[in-house]
Amino acid sequence: MIKNSSFKDEYFIILKPEGEVLDLAQYLQDKLHTEFDLYPDDIYPEIHITLDRIHQDKLEEAVEIIESMVLKYSKIDILVKNFDCYSFKDNNFLVLNVEENQKLVQFSNELHAKLAKKNISTIENYEEWKFHISLASTIFTEEGQNFDDEFQNLCYRFEGIHTPRECEADKIEIWRPTLDEEIKCLKKFQL
């Protein structure tokens, strides 16, 4: 099982979807926020796909690895079809599942292997990693907001719904786990 992320110790390597996938995810995120008032000050988490998590003190080493890899790869195809719900500790997530494909798996496995070899990645069992786009979560919600009952109902509403969308993604970034746009992005890369 993948361990919970540690916001105080980790940075996130993310892939930014575009086009139809981004449009759908932003639309649903906005509708969910409107219905459940999830995020303070109407500031939502930016739509992304997490590829890996790294130790904060290994940032420069991670940058070197990613810089070497983006030279070998071009855009990565992204396909989303259905939804899923996760609960970890006190956090709930409604996500769009990202379908695995050859280029996404090849890139992410190579990235993780290089990060793991140098003890940069914080994910121990990467073979269990599920690519997804979070649409609603309780991580950044107002403190003390109880979303448990509504979350279960929300999951039932999305069960079995298929919304196939696809795009290409060519932007990778390393992020701090924050909603503050001024300090979130630590480094940008182009495939």
pLDDT tens digit string along 133-146? 999 887 776 654 55
pLDDT tens digit string along 46-74? 999 999 999 999 999 999 999 999 999 99
| Residue whose token pair is 């649903």 | 28
Mean per-residue pLDDT of the chain: 90
Predicted pLDDT at 148: 66
- Alpha-carbon gap, residue 131 to 134, rounded angstroms: 10
State the angle between helix axes of 19-36 and 148-158 in degrees (0 to 180), rounded to the nearest 10: 140
Mean pLDDT for the stretch of residues 168-172: 97
Percent with pLDDT over 70 in the chain = 91
Mean pLDDT for the stretch of residues 85-95: 80
Predicted pLDDT at 87: 77
pLDDT tens digit string along 92-124? 889 999 999 999 999 999 999 999 999 999 999
Q: Which residues contact 146 (CB under 8 A, 6 or more apart)?
A: none
Give the DSSP H/E element, type plus range, for residue 103.
helix 102-117
What does 4-45 look like in DSSP terms, one character per residue?
PP-TTTEEEEEEE--HHHHHHHHHHHHHHHHHH--SGGG-PP
Instruction: Find the range with the poorest average confidence among 13-22, 133-142, 177-186.
Output: 133-142
Q: What are phi and psi of 64, to 5 degrees?
A: -60, -45
Instruction: Please state the separation of Cα 137 from the chain's center in Å.
Output: 11
Domain boundaries of the chain, sorted by first residue: 10-190
Predicted pLDDT at 144: 47
For residue 158, what are the CA distances in angstroms to 4, 74, 118?
24, 33, 40
CATH architecture label of 10-190:
Alpha-Beta Complex (3.90)
Token representation of residue 168: 């290409």
